[in-house]
Structure 1
Amino acid sequence: MTLEILTADALAPVHHGFFTRRGGASSGIFAGLNCGTGSSDQSDIVAINRARVAHAMAVDPGALVSVHQIHSAQVATVTEPGPQGRADAMVCNTPGLGLAILTADCMPVLLADPEAGVIGAAHAGWRGALDGVLEATVDAMVALGAERQSITAVIGPCISQAAYEVGPEFLEEFQAEDPEFMRFFANGQGDRYQFDLPGFGLMRLREAGIAQADWTRHCTYADPRLFYSYRRSVHGSEADYGRLISVIRL
């Protein structure tokens, strides 16, 4: 099956892709393009899937660079292939390297300043976004020569507000950080709330002063044919879940 890749006009002409789960070699609960080395899927199958992604991005499989994601605001500056350690974002100005982020409801965020030749990729769940991983990624791109007002960022498929139910303690943490953040919560059933993760991410990106920030408007929870979803796997009492991959390269 052919890989299905979502792209964003705003990031053109930089080569990038938000990969769906279609076109992979995994089976069972991982059926499709599971690229999560941390999943319980067969490691050789995950390697095949990642090799297909590398081919689609026209990079060597060894040049598909990723980090050990820990829900932090840590950013790695990538200059060569290989493991990049514990972080949740990467920036790069070296041609031929693909920055790869894994998600399954969290936001995959791809960023580029084509004129400066600087790219970035971030994994942003609620914790990372609240702690400033998106702003830290923009700052790291500027440190490599990007112009803040020339950076475009696109949030790929992630969980939407309609599917993201949270409890009062979750809301209280955001309220303690800034009461203005309450606008990203809608009332749910009982004492529950619905959190707008991509809306929050867009606000953080725009307040960082970049040129443009968009969301592809795809919900990972709502479409099991195209996307893996951690929350959907929990609701379905599944033992594990696949990881989507999003890649950008110069």
Structure 2
Amino acid sequence: MRIRRVVTTRAGGASTGEFDSFNLGDRVGDDPAAVAANRKRLATELGLTKIAWMEQVHGRTVTVVDGTEETPAEATDALVTATPGVAVAVLVADCVPVLLGDAEAGVVAAVHAGRVGARVGVLPATLDAMRQAGADLARVEVLLGPAICGQDYEVPADMARDVERHLPGSATKTRKGTPGLDLRAGLWQQLADAGVGKIGVDPRCTFEDKSLFSYRRDGTTGRIAALTWTEAE
């Protein structure tokens, strides 16, 4: 199988105002018709007949999907599938979108790893679910997508220390010298410690890159999507 991965930007959609213009989030206050149009365009442009979405809640629940689901997975922050052609999607506007896949097993996953989810172990839970679906961690390839960078993610010192205890490598300093979090650094270390050898990082910072949505920068705003799926070679 061949693994496909796509990360959207905010350009080229039907949304207006704060959500201008390719907002794919359906729970952020945008016009539902605009979101539906954007999601339809996404599927059409990528040639997908099924995109699985989830109602993200900053937890560690993982749901396995096969494309027969008619509604987004409830209270879930990671989706796993072994069904070819079914794309699993994660929505973000500063949190880390994590796309994982084992091409030989045909197993892929999309993970919403914000501060809380990363702290409570959503990524290890996803790796466990992928293993149960037939994936081998030695073959898994990972993309850590665009997210707020440590230089811009300022948090209270006690919060930085707490997250560091649960996600070693995540504590950092902002460009102002204040306590901060680099979740992608912590997640990279967590993956490496789990035996995942192929880890790519999209270096874009959502806070700094105006082509991406950022909740920290803008408050009311849209969501980009990161998707992955398998297809026959």
**What TM-score does the superposition give when structure 1 sets the normalisation length?**
0.86
Distance 1:176 1:111 in 2: 24
2:69 to 81, 85, 108: 81
Where does residue 9 of structure 1 map in the other structure?
none
Please give the secondary structure, in 2, of the residue aligned with 1:149: coil
Where does residue 222 of structure 1 map in the other structure?
208
The alpha-carbon deviation at position 182 of structure 1 amounts to 6.2
Where does residue 19 of structure 2 map in the other structure?
30
Distance 1:134 1:209 in 2: 13
After superposition, what is the alpha-carbon deviation per residue over 1:149-184, rounded to whole angstroms, capped at 9, x for unaligned? 000110111001111111122123235547xx3663
Distance 1:175 1:125 in 2: 14
1:141 to 111, 130, 139: 130
Where does residue 199 of structure 2 map in the other structure?
213
Please give the secondary structure, in 2, of the residue aligned with 1:213: strand
After superposition, what is the alpha-carbon deviation per residue over 1:215-241, rounded to whole angstroms, capped at 9, x for unaligned? 1101111011x100000013xxxxx11
Distance 1:157 1:177 in 2: 22
Contact (CA 8 Å) 1:122, 1:137: kept in 2 or not?
yes
Where does residue 103 of structure 2 map in the other structure?
114
Distance 1:228 1:177 in 2: 27
Structure 1 alignment gaps of length 5 or more: 1-11, 235-239
1:47-66 → structure 2 map (5 Å cutoff): 47-60=36-49, 63-66=50-53
Please give the secondary structure, in 2, of the residue aligned with 1:69: coil
1:246 equivalent in alignment to 2:231: no
Where does residue 97 of structure 1 map in the other structure?
86
The alpha-carbon deviation at position 204 of structure 1 amounts to 1.3
| Letter aligned with residue 213 of structure 2 | Y
RMSD (Å) for aligned C-alpha atoms: 1.8
Would you say how many aligned residue pairs link Structure 1 and Structure 2?
228
Distance 2:174 2:52 in 1: 40
Structure 2 alignment gaps of length 5 or more: none
Contact (CA 8 Å) 1:57, 1:98: kept in 2 or not?
no
Compare the two structures and name the one with the higher helix fraction. 1
Distance 1:142 1:175 in 2: 26
**What TM-score does the superposition give when structure 2 sets the normalisation length?**
0.92
Please give the secondary structure, in 2, of the residue aligned with 1:38: coil
Please give the secondary structure, in 1, of the residue aligned with 2:213: coil
